[in-house]
Structure 1
Amino acid sequence: MQCVRRWLLAATLVLLSVAGVDMEYLQADNLNLLPPDEHHSVLNRGMRVLPRDCHEMLMTSSGKARDGVYLIQPGDLRIVAYCAMQEGGWTVVQHITVNSSVDFDRTWAEYKNGFGAVTGDHWLGNEYIHQLTRGPGRYKLGVKLVDREAVTKTGEYDPFLVEGESSAYRLRLGLFQGSAIDALTLDTENYLHDNQRFTTKDRDNDNYFQNCAKLEFQGVPGGGWWYDACAGANLNRRNVIYWQKDCNKERLCKYAWMMVRPSDTVKLIQSRDCKKDEL
């Protein structure tokens, strides 16, 4: 079934390129994350059969898709997302710049539906991250950190799942590997983020006696996150990107990204299934 879907997507791309099809109006559930003057920048605008995520879009294009904004459809929702194609077809779910002009001190509803701009600093939205990671198949989380000296550290958690709103978008993480520190699944002084529910300034689900999202550093609140009591990592505090020893107030980081794509195990199984279908 996965291979048939890819053939349909590829055929659609060919037809669109020949006919020059375009949509008069861009339709997406999170269109607020793309400024009107950037609607033209959606690279697969007019595509009738949408890919589920950026990795599927990359595979459909035979690896030729370039970095940029795409329409994808995880579940029943059509959304715009930034795709890091050159890095392997990752769907970006969060980007932050230290001292960003985008305010990450947001409400539950705003974190649910997303805010910012997918071409810059943003949070894609808990509901969309849930739709992406709930399957079918396993997904993994990629974290990318860049410090002031342009030193980049990365890490991956496989598998990665964000549960639905009824579970307060609980975070589920698997094994970690990478050059960055494992700041989410190692229990350091009650900072175990794995299995924690999401907390915002108007909905306290953490394990601290105060609301962690409201606690300030240099006058800036923590922002929404999967807090414990409170944090060994927090990529939504815009004055200090925090990831234990990798990013903190002494070792300032300039940028941070969170991205998702199918796990390597899922891709291997899909590749084998495609080869069987070709026999």
Structure 2
Amino acid sequence: MLLLCVCVVLWNVVTVVSDQRSLSFIQHSSSFLIAPESVVKCRNQPWCTSVFCATSCLADLSCRSISVKVTGSDECLHHNVTSSDPSASVTVHSEWVTYDKAVAQDCTELGNQGWTTNSGVYSVYPFSASSTPVSVFCQLDSGHWWTVIEKRADDTLTFSRPLAEFIQGFGSPNSSHWLGLDVIHAMTSSATYELRAKVEADDGNTYYARYSGFSVDSSAADYALRYTDFIEGTAGDALSSFRNARFAGNDHVDGCSGCRSGWWVYAHNGCCYDNPNSVMDGAAAWSSFDDLFLVHFELMVRQTRN
């Protein structure tokens, strides 16, 4: 095990610029960190720069901070903790500078910090800065950075699952997936969010719907769907039937026909009918459509204010 150290002498927020990207870090000058796990990413190479060290840390979910040697030979180190972690110990070292990786709870914050320039999978910290990171797909759309909380590209990944799996989340953020009710709740309970639904129908067209004040309630409230208003959208308002309703999986008994897939139950009777997560064989539906069914479906959220 390689033991290195990060310590704080001077704190300030700095940016490392690479290909028009400004990466936010908290700088700890003249510092060296002893971490439970540290990895030498490069040494004595012309490309072993602070920019390389930062961008490679961004791509590594386990990287929480970096150390860059500023005198003598070039060297870059990745650490699995930040300098404030209780498992880290610190000391002064004039040849090194350490940077704590900026922590964001969602893709909106990543975009604001300059971490994202292309849509793709990134790590965020919706529970707390010291929690285990969560992999999410960040989508740049309409000039805003959105966190994708659901994507259904086809029926390859089934959404006919019990509630426990919807709480945990499943699938891959690179393709079809459900982010997880606990993650969505943690994220949307800490700020004000807008929800955007992207609906591709079997008529070959793509439709949208936007909602303000979106959130998912806690487990104590059965992960109820909350939102303030339907803003606008060519898909129409299909969520009004589920407003303030609880979430259910296919293990839910409703007194009607039972749930074929996980979604919020109808608020007026607590029943499960065909919904966007039903099988895509003429059953998956956006209820504001009369005769159209879904062939692709996405839900994404973005912060509108703290």
Equivalent residues in 2 for 1:89-238 (5 A)?
A: 89-98=145-154, 100-135=155-190, 137-176=191-230, 177-185=232-240, 192-204=241-253, 208-210=254-256, 212-213=258-259, 222-228=260-266, 229=269, 230=271, 234-238=275-279
- What is the number of residues matched between the two proteins? 223
Q: 1:226 to 1:24 in 2, by over 3 A?
A: closer
CA drift of 1:128 comes to 0.5
Q: 1:75 to 1:224 in 2, by over 3 A?
A: same
Q: 1:174 to 1:212 in 2, by over 3 A?
A: farther
Of the two, which has the highest radius of gyration?
Answer: 2
Contact 1:96 1:235 in 2 (8 A): no
The 3-state SS of whatever aligns with 2:110 is: helix
Corresponding residue for residue 32 of structure 1: none
The 3-state SS of whatever aligns with 2:228 is: strand
Identity of aligned residues (%): 25
User: Which one of 59, 62, 65 corresponds to residue 112 of structure 2?
Assistant: 59
CA drift of 1:138 comes to 0.9
The 3-state SS of whatever aligns with 1:19 is: helix
Contact 1:199 1:224 in 2 (8 A): yes
Contact 1:183 1:232 in 2 (8 A): no
Q: Counterparts of 1:69 and 1:151 in 2: how far apart (Å)?
A: 26
Is residue 2:296 matched to residue 1:255?
yes
Structure 1: unaligned runs, 5 residues or longer = 29-45, 186-191, 214-221, 271-279
Higher strand share: 2
Q: 1:19 to 1:120 in 2, by over 3 A?
A: closer
Q: Counterparts of 1:237 and 1:22 in 2: how far apart (Å)?
A: 39
Is residue 2:53 matched to residue 1:19?
yes
Contact 1:201 1:211 in 2 (8 A): no
Q: 1:18 to 1:112 in 2, by over 3 A?
A: same
User: Which one of 68, 73, 79 corresponds to residue 125 of structure 2?
Assistant: 73
CA drift of 1:244 comes to 2.0
Is residue 2:286 matched to residue 1:243?
yes
Equivalent residues in 2 for 1:31-70 (5 A)?
A: 48-61=101-114, 65-70=117-122
CA drift of 1:172 comes to 0.7
Q: What one-letter code is carried by the residue in structure 2 that aligns with 1:257?
A: E
The 3-state SS of whatever aligns with 1:12 is: strand
Question: What is the aligned-residue RMSD (CA, Å)?
Answer: 3.2
Q: Counterparts of 2:108 and 2:234 in 1: how far apart (Å)?
A: 23
Structure with more relative contact order (C-alpha pairs < 8 Å, separation 6 or more): 1
The 3-state SS of whatever aligns with 1:241 is: coil
- Once the two structures are superposed, residues 194-233 of structure 1 have per-residue CA deviations (whole angstroms, 9 ceiling, x without a partner) of 00011112244xxx423631xxxxxxxx211111143577
Structure 1 segments (4+ residues) deviating >4 Å: 4-9, 13-16
CA drift of 1:48 comes to 2.4
TM-score computed with the length of structure 1 as normaliser: 0.70
Q: Counterparts of 2:14 and 2:203 in 1: how far apart (Å)?
A: 41
Q: Counterparts of 1:258 and 1:5 in 2: how far apart (Å)?
A: 33
Q: Counterparts of 1:138 and 1:5 in 2: how far apart (Å)?
A: 26
Structure 2: unaligned runs, 5 residues or longer = 1-11, 17-21, 28-48, 64-98
Higher helix share: 1
CA drift of 1:85 comes to 1.7
CA drift of 1:7 comes to 7.5
Corresponding residue for residue 41 of structure 1: none
Contact 1:183 1:233 in 2 (8 A): no
